[in-house]
């Protein structure tokens, strides 16, 4: 069995827009991905490590533990052997308490790639491949999370392009989820069930080729 670790935030956790509820595993994109790969006869397990509010490398001043760089090496070590690590972060870097723009977040993602590659895995186990997934662009944040993401629409501009360049420079794979879906109109930040399905299905052939 080949194991895939998804290291993400609420867009991967499956937060239902404008609620505090969670989509079922087979509805959120990691579960859709696992189902699609298994339907192709792939013997895989998708492991979710997705925390609401997780950033790339920044702290949340109100909720501890949201810095994605802290503990990542240990998550790799815990779950080895891993064939693939999917890094799906970025949206929370643009919360209103941060001055972060897209380029800064891309450098945060580059830091995470380095952590994965230098994690203290057991001797003889392979360093996992890495797939970076950019979130769809934030668009008119509203509802309960509106103040939290005020200004995020402009700050996130160009993130996918910056991620693509980082991946090219570092030799890892890249997917722009904004190429197949948009954020939910309900809150302007998260994915709805249709968006999750589109992302999971679109990732399936990419991941299958990386597992070959």
| pLDDT for 190 | 98
What is the percent of the chain where pLDDT is above 90?
A: 100
CA dihedral (176, 35, 31, 171) positive or negative: negative
Q: Tokens for 68, please give them.
A: 């994605």
pTM over 0.95: yes
| pLDDT for 42 | 97
| pLDDT for 76 | 98
Evaluate whether 176 touches 10 at the Cβ level (below 8 Å).
no
Q: Tokens for 81, please give them.
A: 């052997």
Q: Which residues of the chain have pLDDT under 50?
A: none
Contacts 24+ apart (CB under 8 A), 67-71: 68/7, 68/108, 68/112, 69/108, 69/111, 69/112, 69/115
Tally the C-alpha atoms within 13 A of residue 97's C-alpha that lie toward its C-beta. Answer: 11
- The closest alpha carbon to 84, from 51, 123, 116, 59, belongs to 116
Q: How far apart are CA 57 and CA 112, in angstroms?
A: 8
| pLDDT for 150 | 98
């Amino acid at each position: 069995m080949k194991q895939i670790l998804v290291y993400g935030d609420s867009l991967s956790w499956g937060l239902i827009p404008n609620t505090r509820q969670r989509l079922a595993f087979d509805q959120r994109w990691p579960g859709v991905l696992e189902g699609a790969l298994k339907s192709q006869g792939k013997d895989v397990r998708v492991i979710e490590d997705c925390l609401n509010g997780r950033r790339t490398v920044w702290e949340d001043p109100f909720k501890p533990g949201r810095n994605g760089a802290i503990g990542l090496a240990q998550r790799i070590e815990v779950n080895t052997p891993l064939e693939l690590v999917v890094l799906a972060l970025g949206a929370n870097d643009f919360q209103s308490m941060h001055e972060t723009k897209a380029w800064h977040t891309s450098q945060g993602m580059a830091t995470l790639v380095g952590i994965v590659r230098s994690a203290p895995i057991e001797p003889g186990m392979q360093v996992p491949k890495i797939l970076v997934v950019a979130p769809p662009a934030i668009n008119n944040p509203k509802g309960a999370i509106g103040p939290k993401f005020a200004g995020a629409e402009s700050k996130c501009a160009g993130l996918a392009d910056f991620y693509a360049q980082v991946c090219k420079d570092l030799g890892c794979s890249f997917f722009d989820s904004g190429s197949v879906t948009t954020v939910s109109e309900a809150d302007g930040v998260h994915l709805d069930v249709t968006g999750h399905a589109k992302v999971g299905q679109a990732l399936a052939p990419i991941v299958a080729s990386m597992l070959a």
